[in-house]
């Protein structure tokens, strides 16, 4: 096979870790008088001290600084040009809770900040501050951008019942946007209260759920998203059972992968991933990148599609001498693993009329099953397609019937699961209108379930055990267990249970099935560790989140690794008996959410965060 002309062994340059030197100083009421030396603080210094000092003060019970001064310093930090500074300041204000009331107005200004991770952080902080946030949030209903008002409404809804008095007063306002916004949130809070009170009783016991794990890549490789079984399960043993305070040993770090939420695949001694970045002499593109596992030298990088604001989401799927990847605009490529040369190329929009349910574009990692490549264009007449993996030729496509009004048409942000259900091999996928099952041989639509769909983003991949499918989405949706039974040539679907979002909803990081239990992070933009009994939906335990943000979960050697999107990584024992935290550390981080899923391969933990890849030693040794 022909080598690319620009094959390189030069380490990639860092593009994601550069810090901006300028800082926007606060204005208006938050600004100090001219005679105060703090008014001329240099960038990164607030009231004469660095941000780390103020965040530490906020977290301490025995603070040496006056709380009002801490709030003022953190409020100034909210005007920094760097997203990570704004996030840290917001989190610290949240740690102060109601004492941070004076910062609410400055926090409300962040609701139209371009970086979503900043907006998520401040929305969590409003909840921590509580009812004192509500008047300013109601004021945001008058913002000229109605999306800002929606975000304010979501924050008030999370505050819940304590916000009702202020909302009822606002519902009598003469300003239409305030009146309508308050009325909408009042109705949402009432629905939340009614739904929580009317949860049906569940059976104390359920039929035992048994199933088999279907591997779609080599068991000794990590050749695709979420591992050999696409289920976030690593079967390696001999790993650390506890972590030192500083975390496992960092073996190496690599910069220069570019922007993106793709995690890594590892096969044949090569690391494969995707990133948005420039190459010498070329403009920025979304790339598939190959790195030598031992030396971390770049072997090749192949452009896939045009750049996207925060990069690609797909993790390459490796299948022997070929690999498969999907760009955010639907550019589907088959590449040669040793050279990166394009073997064939399709586009899910141009070739199949595909669409994604909402604005964040394609995020799927393709499935290779035998001789088929299976993916989700999202068109009504081609919701899922199977292609000949060697040529890209269409084998079949799934026509999507109407299954309900919830959600939106198009593909979701999930990746397909393959399973043997009712004696029939099926592809199970969460799309814009809910979770569906299709026949693996023909692509014929078999069943669909609409109740789990939301209108924002259906993200977690479904999990299958035996003839049962567990599925969860966020944005106040919830979770469900479905039992699929064969009825002649058709399938019959039974809802075993539905969990209210206050019981369990998973946002970004997915869940993992270990034995008869489900483990994952609970909450929209949150990751409170939860253990559910799969058969009944009973909550075995739910713990307070050890870190802020959502969490991607991975099982390995009796333990769960939770990677939080603000950076921290925690180790939790995989037991239904009780929540047992076994380790925690914060690795090196860069800007943006750390949404890439963790990988464990050959005793090593791989953590991707935008431009940065870290490798830690998890081997327990002798």
Residue range 136-149, pLDDT digits in tens: 999 999 999 998 99
Q: Rounded CA gap, 571 and 589, in Å?
A: 18
Distance between first and last Cα of the chain: 42
**C-alpha to C-alpha distance for 400 and 378, rounded to whole angstroms:** 9
- Which of 355, 390, 385, 351 is closest to 370 using CA atoms? 390
Q: What count of Cα atoms within 13 Å lies in the side-chain half-sphere of residue 228?
A: 17
What Cα–Cα distance (Å) separates residue 479 from each residue in 194, 534, 537? 18, 11, 9
DSSP string, 47-102: TTEEHHHHHHHHH-SS-SS-HHHHHHHHHHHTT-S-HHHHHHHHHHHHHHGGGGGG
Q: How far apart are CA 118 and CA 109, in angstroms?
A: 11
Asked if residues 259 and 610 have their Cβ atoms less than 8 Å apart, the reply is yes
The β-bridge relationship of strands 468-473 and 463-465 is antiparallel
pLDDT digits (tens, 9 = 90+) for 76-88: 999 998 988 999 9
Please choose, from the candidates 467, 398, 469, 393, the residue with its C-alpha nearest in 3D space to the C-alpha of residue 435.
469
Residues in the chain: 622
C-alpha angle 539-545-548 in degrees, rounded to nearest 5: 145
Helices and strands: H and E segment counts in the chain: 9, 35
Beta-carbon neighbour count of residue 160 at 10 Å?
A: 16
How far apart (Å, rounded) are the C-alpha atoms in residues 161 and 185? 11
* pLDDT score for 282: 83
User: Looking at residue 214, what is its pLDDT?
Assistant: 73
d(CA 398, CA 380) in angstroms, rounded, equals 8
| pLDDT value of position 26 | 35
SS3 content of the chain, % helix, strand, coil (to 5): 20, 30, 45
Q: For residue 365, what is the DSSP state? A: -
587 Cβ contact list (under 8 Å, min separation 6): 247, 250, 567, 569, 607, 609, 614, 616
Cα–chain center distance at 299: 29
All residue ranges of the chain with pLDDT < 70 are 1-40, 195-213, 621-622
Q: What is the pTM of this model?
A: 0.77
Contact 232, 553 (CB under 8 A): yes
- DSSP-assigned beta bridge partners for residue 270: 267, 292
- Three state DSSP letters for 392-457: CCEEEECCCCCCCCCCCCCECCCCCEEEEECCEEEEEEEECCEEEEEECCCCCEEEEECCCCCCCC
Distance CA 527, CA 507 (A): 8
- Walk across the sheet containing 265-267 and list its strands: 265-267, 270-279, 282-292, 298-305
CA distance 127 to 90: 12
Q: Give yes or no for a contact between 548 and 124, defined as CB atoms under 8 angstroms apart.
A: yes
The maximal CA–CA distance of the chain, rounded, in angstroms, is 84
pLDDT value for 147: 87
Strands ordered across the beta sheet of 317-319: 317-319, 322-326, 331-336, 342-347
How far apart (Å, rounded) are the C-alpha atoms in residues 166 and 160?
11
């Amino acid at each position: 096979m022909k080598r690319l002309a620009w094959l390189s062994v030069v380490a990639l340059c860092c593009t994601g870790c550069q810090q901006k030197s300028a800082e926007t100083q606060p204005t208006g009421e938050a600004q100090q008088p001219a005679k105060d030396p703090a008014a001329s603080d240099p960038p990164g210094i607030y009231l004469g001290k660095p941000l780390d000092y103020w965040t530490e003060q906020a977290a301490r019970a025995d603070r040496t600084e006056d709380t009002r001064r801490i709030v003022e310093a953190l409020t100034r930090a909210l005007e920094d040009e760097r997203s990570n500074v704004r996030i840290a300041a917001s989190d610290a204000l949240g740690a102060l809770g109601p004492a941070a009331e004076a910062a609410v107005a400055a926090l409300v200004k962040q609701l139209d900040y371009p970086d979503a991770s900043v907006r998520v952080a401040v929305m969590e902080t409003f909840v921590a501050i509580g009812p004192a946030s509500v008047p300013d949030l109601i004021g945001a209903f008058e913002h000229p951008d109605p999306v800002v008002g929606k975000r304010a409404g979501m924050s008030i809804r999370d505050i819940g019942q304590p916000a009702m008095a202020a909302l009822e007063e606002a519902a009598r306002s003469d300003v239409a946007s305030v009146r309508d916004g308050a009325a909408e949130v009042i109705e949402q809070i009432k629905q939340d209260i009614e739904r929580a009170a009317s949860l049906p009783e569940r059976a104390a016991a359920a039929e035992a759920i048994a199933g088999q794990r279907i591997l779609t890549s080599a068991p000794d490789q990590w050749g695709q998203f979420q591992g050999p079984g696409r289920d976030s399960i690593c079967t390696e043993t001999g790993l650390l059972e506890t972590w030192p305070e500083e975390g496992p040993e960092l073996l190496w770090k690599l910069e220069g992968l570019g922007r993106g939420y793709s995690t890594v695949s590892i096969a044949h001694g090569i690391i494969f991933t995707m990133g948005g970045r420039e190459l010498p002499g070329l403009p920025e593109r979304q790339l598939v990148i190959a790195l030598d596992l031992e030396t971390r030298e770049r072997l090749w990088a192949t452009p896939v599609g045009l750049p996207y604001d925060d990069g690609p989401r797909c993790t390459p799927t490796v299948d022997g001498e070929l690999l498969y990847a999907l760009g955010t605009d639907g550019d589907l490529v088959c590449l040669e693993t040793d050279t990166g040369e394009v073997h064939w190329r399709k586009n899910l929009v141009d070739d199949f009329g595909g669409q994604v349910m909402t604005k964040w574009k394609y995020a799927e990692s393709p499935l290779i099953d035998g001789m088929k490549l299976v993916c989700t264009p999202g068109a009504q007449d081609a919701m899922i397609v199977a292609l000949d993996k060697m040529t890209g030729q269409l084998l079949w496509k799934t026509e999507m019937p109407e299954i309900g009004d919830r959600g939106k048409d198009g593909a979701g942000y999930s990746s397909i699961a393959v399973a043997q259900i009712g004696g029939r091999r099926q592809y199970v996928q969460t799309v814009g209108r809910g979770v569906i099952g299709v026949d693996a041989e023909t692509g014929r639509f078999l069943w669909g379930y609409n109740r789990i769909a939301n209108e924002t983003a259906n993200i977690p991949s479904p999990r299958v055990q035996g003839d049962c499918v567990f599925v969860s989405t966020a944005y106040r949706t919830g979770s469900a267990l479905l039992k699929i039974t064969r009825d002649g040539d058709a399938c019959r679907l039974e809802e075993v249970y539905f969990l209210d979002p206050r019981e369990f909803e998973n946002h970004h990081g997915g869940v993992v099935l270990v034995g008869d239990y489900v483990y994952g992070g609970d909450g929209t933009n949150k990751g409170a560790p939860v253990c559910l009994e799969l058969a009944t939906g009973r909550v075995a335990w739910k713990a307070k989140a050890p870190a802020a943000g959502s969490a991607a979960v991975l099982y390995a050697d009796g333990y769960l690794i939770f990677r939080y999107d603000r950076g921290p990584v925690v180790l939790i024992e995989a037991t239904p008996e009780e929540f047992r935290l076994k380790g925690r550390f914060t690795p090196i981080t860069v800007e943006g959410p750390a949404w890439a899923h963790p990988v464990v391969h050959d005793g090593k933990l791989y953590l991707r965060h935008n431009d940065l890849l870290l490798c830690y030693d998890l081997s327990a040794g002798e």
